[in-house]
Chains A and B, each alone.
Chain A
Amino acid sequence: MSRGQQVMNPTPNDELLSAYLDDELSADERARVERLLAEQPESRALLEDLRALRSGLESLPRHRLEGNFAERVLRRAEREMLAPELEAGRPDRLRELPGTSSASAAAVSRSASDAMADEDGSVSPPEANWPWRAGRRTWAWAGLAAAAALLVMLFTPDRVADREAEHLARAPDPAALPAAGDLRAPRDGEREDSIELRMDKPAGPRGPMSKAAPPAAGNGSIEAPFANDQQDFDQRDFSGKEGRAENESKSGQSDRPMRSKSPEAGASRAPTQQPEAAPTPQAPAAAGGAGARSAARDSMPDDQPVQRARRTARPQPSRAAGQAGQSARELGRQSDLDADLEAGTPTYRFDAADEDVLVVVCDVPDSATYRKTFESLLAGQNIDLDSPVELKEERQRPADDQADAARPSTENMATLQRRLAAGALDRVAKQSLGSAQIDQDAFAGRLGDQAVQEIVYVEATAEQLEATLENMAESETFLKIAVDPAPAVPAQENWYFYSRSRKLAELADETLEAGQRQGREQKAAKLRAGGLSKDFKKEKAPAERDVAAEAPRGKAQRYELAPIDSADEKSDALGGLSPGLSPKLGQQVQRRQAAGKDAGKAAPGRGAGERRDAQTDLYRAVFVFRALPEAASEPAAESAPPAAKK
């Protein structure tokens, strides 16, 4: 029978053949089909065609959504959930809604106004950071805030009352309430989020994302993005069409991204510059009598990436509040910091636990092979390797003598590096690998003397980092890649798709090539569980992934790990981040450290939260390379990646 006849005259057995291709037959059926295949050449030809069709379908391009899609989804979902509740006048229903946070509650009025503005239900592009993290706050505060916000919206469309109500509804600690003068409406030019940032985050369940995120370092660490949302609400709700422009004009008082081109606004809005660094006329930097310590902390230099801008967006005491603006809580934290510093706990410029640091753990065959490749990838993305990004050690020193961040001693440097590696591996193992079914145990337990070869810290744009990840995923050099996106950075949320297991990919490919369809789904599932589908591997890196020469220059610094000499040190390193290096402390020390730096230093990077200008916003990433020599990989069980094959 000719092939054309086969096409025109499929036999009843063809359906079985199709199911045979899919490995969806019972043992009996399978035996029947195999007999058929042995006896009938036309059946074999048909099976061959069906396989060719499958290959053709698998070759179709894969469509992908933009990186901030999840953010948009959540924004709209929350809006849709909240609007009916508001219309029904039952904001307390918020407590029952999944995924609705106190940020949602606080955004109730905003959501309602948006809903009114967008009667067709269309979704506006996100203008502010999504306050996902605020979901950890308790429902009680959500309900209170929602009720207060609703009341304000319905009955007192007045900024003053609005602020008061929200503030009262949220302030958990009456003792910490600022002076009454603080509750007035912000004047033009004053930080609008000053009151929002004063909120404390009640202890609540922490989501998976929060593991890598520091606890609330300051009142503003979590609320800052929300404050932006609130600001949007404020502008839209009460300023009408002028709101956006007014919002822009107030950039100097916001920790939102730098958008204004005016020197004045730009100076105060530079993402890497702390809001406090540009005190408004109404809120002088002196912040009342906070003293030299506060003043130093308030003068954050430009070289602090965005998460610091977000974290350190602490309450900005208004002039009316005066010295009272320096809350007792803040002073208490500072005391803690002092105690930590007095204990001699070192810190470093970056921390794997930082909430917006991307962590990439790569298994590589050997240092000689991967280094060249990685250098080439970085160079291809216009990222300068070995830029002067240094690990810094900070020890207590007088507040007026912080100009130089001391280089850590050799032994401390080794410890810091290991802590960093431990933190990165721990974070990846607990989050990305835990969800991706890769050999989590092998990853988590393999921080040994030889495992981690080096750490490369990178500051680059989202495009540069994504292209680097994509090229790494394409490269055969990197046996395994595990990516832990920063939970607080929407643009990074999808980057974990670049995680993959080379071994599983090879297994799947071998199986496919051999035409052994049995177990295809399971293998494909495992492969995809690695985050990177085989189809992805087939795709060529798009030309646009190669960042053009005009792209901003990223910078990278590598740190080779020195041998561990003492058991204590090793134990310390294996233990991950020590309490002394807790994120909270890290932030505070960073503030302290940054305060002493030259404020005029050129900004090397901005962070994810300030990603309005994708061409210039810089993200922070830590690449941890683990060489897996054969001898070292043997005990790592069957799930360990294979040793170098080339």
Chain B
Amino acid sequence: MVEDSHPIDESRLIDETLAGDSAAFGRLVGKYQDRLYNTMAHLVGLEDARDLVQDAFVQAFVKLETFQRTSAFYTWLYRIAFNLAMSRKRRQRPSVSMDGLRERTGHEPVDGSAAPQDRLEQQELAGQVQAALATLSEEHRIVLVLREMDGCCYETIAEILELPVGTVRSRLHRGRMQLREHLKQVLQVDHP
């Protein structure tokens, strides 16, 4: 999704924001708010994601003059959001509580061995995937979310998380393998 931003239009909106038209920034917010929110919800939970996204946009607005435009606005915005998330995490708790995340995302983890015999309905599958995703470590979960749900390429993920591309590739793969392990029963049902 990061790649779908129209650079010209985005640049124009930024220019207009800097020129004093905050409505232009409002359009940028409207353009990216749900995507960022959806992504951050997987990282910090729905409730915290709202505040986090709002803080990220506010900070982007305040710091917009410092945006060098060497990357897409969305990439920059993401980086702000992730930095905020990490900063909060360091301040508030050593790690994301699994129980808390489960509660906040509304999905209970499902034991793979207890997978139903029949093919899962889409909603049930989503619940299983969500729960399995929540069991991943944060660093693995976020690359997966950025890749699979946000459609970011490796380079963009690396830019957002300020990681080498090789690390992104490695984490992505490990995350997938962990997820596959959690969902192996589901996958076997899907592909007997």
Contacts and interface: CB of A to CB of B under 8 A. Distances in A.
Interface in B86-124: 122
Nearest to A131: B22
Interface stretch (A205-213, A235-243, A636-644): A205-213
Given A57-B149, A207-B24, A99 B130 contact: no
11 contacts: A24-B154, A56-B126, A61-B126, A70-B33, A73-B26, A98-B64, A130-B26, A132-B21, A132-B23, A208-B12, A497-B34
A3 interface: yes
Interface of B: 1, 3-4, 6, 9, 12-13, 16-27, 29-31, 33-34, 37-38, 41, 46, 49-50, 53-54, 57-58, 61-62, 64-65, 122, 125-126, 128-130, 133, 144-145, 147-149, 151, 153-154, 169-170, 172-173, 176-177, 179-181, 183-184, 186-188, 190-191
A74 B154 contact: no
A98 B149 contact: no
B34 A49 contact: no
Contact of A49 (B50, B65, B187): B187
B169 A98 contact: no
Main secondary structure on chain B at its contact with chain A? helix
A526 to B, nearest CB: 7
B147 A136 contact: no
A52 B187 contact: yes
Contact of B20 (A10, A24, A98): A98
A10 B188 CA distance: 17
B20 A139 contact: yes
A27 to B, nearest CB: 16
Interface of A: 3-4, 7, 10, 14-15, 18-19, 22, 24, 45, 48-50, 52-54, 56-65, 69-74, 76-78, 80-81, 98-101, 104, 123, 130, 132-133, 135-137, 139, 142, 204-209, 434-437, 487, 490, 493-494, 496-497, 520-522, 524-526, 528-529, 533
Contacts of A78: 22
B33 A69 contact: yes
Given A14-B177, A100-B20, A528 B30 contact: no
A53 B16 CA distance: 42
A99 B3 contact: no
A74 B176 contact: no
B191 to A, nearest CB: 6
A73 B53 CA distance: 9
Given A76-B58, A100-B22, 8 more contacts: A50-B176, A54-B148, A74-B22, A98-B65, A99-B17, A100-B20, A494-B34, A525-B4
Select the residue from B37, B61, B186 with max chain A CB neighbours within 10 A. B61
A231 B168 CA distance: 52
How would you classify the secondary structure of chain A's contact residues: helix, strand, loop or mixed? helix
Contact of A73 (B61, B169, B188): B61
Contact of B129 (A56, A136, A436, A524): A56
A44 B33 CA distance: 38
Contact of B27 (A137, A209, A522): A209
Contacts of B54: 69, 72-73, 76, 123
